[in-house]
Amino acid sequence: MGMQWTPAVLHRPQRGRVQCMLCPFRCALQDGETGLCGVRRRSGDRLETATFASSVRHWDAVERKPLYHYRPGTPCLTLAAPGCTFACDYCINHRMSQYGRVDSVRWDAEPVDPAEVTGEAAGRSGCVAISYTEPSLAIELTAALAEAGRPLGVEVVWKSNGFLTAEAVELAARHVAAVNVDVKTLDERDHRELTGARPGPVLDALTGLRERGVWLEVSTPLIPGLTAGPGTLRPIARALAALDPAIPWHLVRATPAHRRTGHAPTPVADLEAGVRIGQEEGLRHVYVERALGADGRATRCARCGGTVVARDVWALGENLLKDGRCPRCGAEVEGRW
């Protein structure tokens, strides 16, 4: 089905243009122009979005987002609206995310009925996830899903790049229960090389989301030769620990894709070193999904070291927590259990 444009939020008039206020690029558009994201455009005096739609619709576990401290084992009905505010050269989902930026990426999405989606999610006591592409571009869809799901006990979660304005953070926090944000690097040059954007707004978004009560987890892709070394990882770990040492940090093994096809995957030794760095900087929960086995996925009590949540790959193994506390020593383990 072709693109369907619907009214968008977060915009204002600016010197004869309409300025989008969703991401920090803040595109100021003439009539008929589309923003850098390719999915928000000006029409007359208003802004429109094409993202009340999804390219995928399937079930998977919340652990796959990854969200390890949010309702372990919860099934997620996952959607993905095309488009992204970043142009990451390693993106494994580039055939959806790079719509509007890469000519070979075609529109392939169907309209979403929020009541129908949340009804299906409620039937499995699940949540709705927006992932694979940039969910903040679907903030209107997010709000509609959250409003439809609230009476049913269905929450919305995101996997996001975190490139949001303060206005977008404020709106998202009303509707998103949990988010995993990619923090790729804090180095200005490297971040621009990877994404086409600066890193500062991502850290600001982390702070804003956490302050507003959204459950927050962070992922960092370890790209050999660029973001896999201590010069990248230690500043990230230090920044996260300063914000909240209980933030779960997921170290992601880079899989060569898109413009990095043919590059080597992340060595296991780099992932092991990243875990040590996170722990040295004071982070309580540092995870590696597969390369370090079940041990790399386990949640441990920060006080006694006992395993309190065991996980399979993309699935819950066993949740031993008692009302969010360690069954051995009684210490609280932070999360939305």
In angstroms, what CA-CA distances link 127 with 59, 124, 155, 248, 336?
10, 9, 5, 20, 13
- According to the annotation, is 88 in a ligand binding site? yes
Three-state DSSP class for 165? coil
What letter does residue 180 receive in the DSSP assignment?
E
> What sections of the chain are H helices per DSSP?
94-97, 114-123, 139-149, 166-173, 188-195, 200-211, 230-243, 268-280, 293-297
**Cα separation of 310 and 300, whole Å?**
9
The answer on whether 84 is annotated among ligand-binding residues is yes
With CA atoms as reference, report the closest residue to 23 among 202, 207, 239, 241. 202
Q: Which helix (H) or strand (E) holds 249?
A: strand 249-253
- Do the beta carbons of residue 102 and residue 153 sit within 8 Å? no
CA distances from 117 to 78, 123, 145, 214 (A): 10, 10, 8, 22
Note whether 52 and 6 are within 8 A (CB). Answer: yes
Please enumerate, by residue number, every residue annotated as part of a binding site: 84, 88, 91
Please enumerate, by residue number, every residue annotated as part of a binding site for [4Fe-4S] cluster: 84, 88, 91
